[in-house]
Amino acid sequence: KQEVTQIPAALSVPEGENLVLNCSFTDSAIYNLQWFRQDPGKGLTSLLLIQSSQREQTSGRLNASLDKSSGRSTLYIAASQPGDSATYLCAPKTGANNLFFGTGTRLTVIP
């Protein structure tokens, strides 16, 4: 069964700093990997999806990379803002029916 680990569990940074969130997974036979953000008491918002054949995806200040063979993905956030404060979740898709989630990294950006 796929196991997903996200490090660190919590991160606090001053506004404007660049930061990297890490995700590792045990089964490298994935279809894709998706990054989400979750605000308190809310659902998940999709940020980026990287297909298994891709190395990275970019959207605005966000850049996600994927190293499938080593079972790692990173989410890079440039010039962080207080509005980026949320929990960030990664989810590799293994098989047709399942997206496996980590427990997330809780990010706080201090004004």
Partner 1 sequence: ETGVTQTPRHLVMGMTNKKSLKCEQHLGHNAMYWYKQSAKKPLELMFVYNFKEQTENNSVPSRFSPECPNSSHLFLHLHTLQPEDSALYLCASSQDNYASNSPLHFGNGTRLTVT
**Residue of 53, 76, 78, 56 lying closest to 66 (CA atoms):** 56
**Residue of 63, 23, 67, 25 lying closest to 47 (CA atoms):** 63
Judged by CB under 8 A, the residue of 59, 70, 81, 103 near partner 1 is 103
For residue 107, the surrounding DSSP H or E stretch is strand 105-110
Q: How far apart are CA 72 and CA 10, in angstroms?
A: 18
Q: Closer to partner 1 at the Cβ: 76 or 101? A: 101
- Residue 73 interacts with partner 1 (CB under 8 A): yes or no: no
Q: Closer to partner 1 at the Cβ: 36 or 109? A: 36
Beta carbons of 52 and 69 less than 8 angstroms apart: no
- Residue 63 interacts with partner 1 (CB under 8 A): yes or no: no
- Residue 40 interacts with partner 1 (CB under 8 A): yes or no: no
Judged by CB under 8 A, the residue of 73, 92, 93, 109 near partner 1 is 93
Residue 111 beta carbon to partner 1: minimum distance, rounded to whole angstroms = 26
